[in-house]
Amino acid sequence: MNTDQPLDRRTFVTWLGGVGASLTLVQSVHAEIFAEAGAPPTWLTFTAKQAALVDAMTACIIPLDDAPGAHETGVTTFIDRWIAKHEPASKVRYAAGLDDLEQRTRAAHPEARSFTTLTEAQQVSLLQTIEKDPFFGLVRTHAIMGYLGAPSYGGNRGGAGWKAVGFQNHGIWSAPFGWYDRPGNDAR
């Protein structure tokens, strides 16, 4: 028994008009997707050195592959603004955590000047030694928030994080929603 009430977009838009709403709702959702956020002229939370460390660290957590990673989407900008505006207590946690990262770098690679100058493979194996630490968990959470949160927060530039996973903040969907409810694929 087919009880679904699929609604195509035209019907929906007609309906919106019918109740006095306007298409600006739909358009504003689109505008949100394509909002670009530029890098801040100055860091609000980090020193330039700290920002470089956060950038290197988050690039390991969400690396560039055939889709942009943390570095390409402004994740460090996101974290810098997020802490300044919403999570001031995390500023000292970053300062301490990044200091610790540099100390570990020098212990493991006496010749290296900074974590930022290590090869990616070296960086990853160093981070593997701290991946259970609360600081690493904090940076991971922030990196994902920056990569997949709304672009207005300074990360996810151009919605690139959303594109990478296949999400669209469209506002209106109708059947078929996925492969399994496409006519012919329904193997009930």
Residues near another protein, by CB under 8 A:
3-7, 12, 15-16, 19, 21, 25, 29, 32, 60-63, 65, 67, 69, 86, 124, 127, 131, 140-141, 144-145, 147-150, 152-153, 161-162, 164-167, 169-181, 185-188
CB closer to another protein out of 110 and 184: 184
CB closer to another protein out of 95 and 150: 150
Kindly tell me the burial class for residue 120, based on how many C-beta atoms sit within 10 Å of its own C-beta (0-12, 13-18, 19 or more).
exposed
CA–CA separation, 91 and 45 (whole Å): 7
Q: How far is the CB of 110 from another protein (least distance, A)?
A: 25
Please calculate the CA angle 23-29-34 and round it to the nearest 5 degrees. 125
| Nearest by Cα to 53 from 127, 152, 149 | 127
CB closer to another protein out of 65 and 111: 65
Q: How far is the CB of 29 from another protein (least distance, A)?
A: 7
Q: Which helix (H) or strand (E) holds 26?
A: helix 24-34
CB closer to another protein out of 67 and 108: 67
Please report the DSSP string for 62-94 in residue order: S--SSS--TGGGTHHHHHHHHHHHH-TTHHHHH
162, amino acid identity: W
CB closer to another protein out of 47 and 141: 141
Q: How far is the CB of 168 from another protein (least distance, A)?
A: 9
Q: How far is the CB of 100 from another protein (least distance, A)?
A: 18
CA–CA separation, 95 and 91 (whole Å): 6
Q: How far is the CB of 177 from another protein (least distance, A)?
A: 4
